[in-house]
A and B are shown apart, each in its own frame.
Chain A
Amino acid sequence: MLRCKQVSEALASVNYWELPLRKRIGLRLHVFFCMVCGPFNRFIMQMQDTTRHYLSHEQSDTPSPDMCLPKEARQRIVDRIKHNPDQTASNL
């Protein structure tokens, strides 16, 4: 049976979802039933879970307009790539 200290230390050093399945089950059971460390460690697990889902969306979702590359920067980067001295003309 896991103790509060072991659960708290485990969640402090690694993300819950990186643990092996067996450890995850034991940890989840403890956190679900424990009246002492449960609410706190549930919060840590929720935030880790939310962050993990964010990462899976981050590279595929289209960013909102305020998070897009500004038009001027876009053009500047294109120009910079086109005029990159390391780039041979045949690739362009």
Chain B
Amino acid sequence: MTTVEGIDPERWVQEHGDVMFRYAYVRLKSHAVAEDIVQETFLAAMKAQERYQGRSSERSWLMGILRHKLIDYLRKSAREVKVEDVEEMEGLQDSLLFKGAGIPQWQPPKWHFNPRKVFEQKEFWDVFSSCLANLDQRMNIAFTLKELEGLSTEEVCKELGVEPTYLWVILYRARNALKKCLEKNWLKRNQGLREQNATV
């Protein structure tokens, strides 16, 4: 059975600090809060090291602690996020994406590139994480809790204090914003690379 190797703070931070920081930053949109939560995770892990039984890798164990801290933080933040004016909310619900029969009123424009074809390129995921971090705060919280952390619709609605239909609209907006950001930044990046190659 593996256990946490003798605690060497430098090694811990060296090996896991960057991945933990990105995980936190993408979801929290704040360098300072992400740094704090990473630090709190390391401190909590030190306290709990005797309970670590080596059933998972050290990275997974630390990420598990980080995830719990992060969800707690987001739950608290969600309550503080201002829900849009009732008028706007009603407007959104009136223009729901679906007619009674579940037929979407909105048709998404086609992708300018096929994301599946670039799944193997690490740089694409760098762009993806930047785009996630750029989502507006409410979209970010909803998308993080529902899509990244896998909380149920009921749980996310409870945290955000919204109805499921409203959550669906926020998630739709988040996906749309993410798609636009991915297209813009991925194509811009590739164009930059092509120009660089042409000048060499």
Contacts and interface: CB of A to CB of B under 8 A. Distances in A.
Contact of B126 (A7, A47, A49, A64): A64
Contacts of B98: 5, 8
Contacts of A58: 19, 22-23, 125, 129
B18 A69 contact: yes
Interface residues of B, number: 60
Majority secondary structure, B binding face: helix
Contacts, number: 153
A13 B167 CA distance: 10
Given A39-B108, A70-B35, A81 B21 contact: no
Interface in B140-172: 147-148, 150, 153, 164, 168
A59 B25 contact: no
A74 B10 CA distance: 9
Given A40-B108, A69-B17, A84-B43, A47 B178 contact: yes
Contact of A7 (B102, B132, B164): B102
Interface string B18-44: 111111011000010001001100110
A12 interface: yes
Contacts of A87: 7, 46
Interface residues of A, number: 52
B23 A74 contact: no
A82 interface: yes
Nearest to B45: A81
A81 to B, nearest CB: 4
Contact of A84 (B46, B102, B132): B46
Contact of B63 (A9, A47, A59): A59
B115 interface: yes
Interface string A14-57: 01000000000000000000001101110110111111011101
Given A15-B147, A54-B128, A81-B9, A40 B43 contact: no
Interface of A: 3-9, 12-13, 15, 36-37, 39-41, 43-44, 46-51, 53-55, 57-64, 66-70, 73-74, 76-78, 80-82, 84, 86-87, 91-92
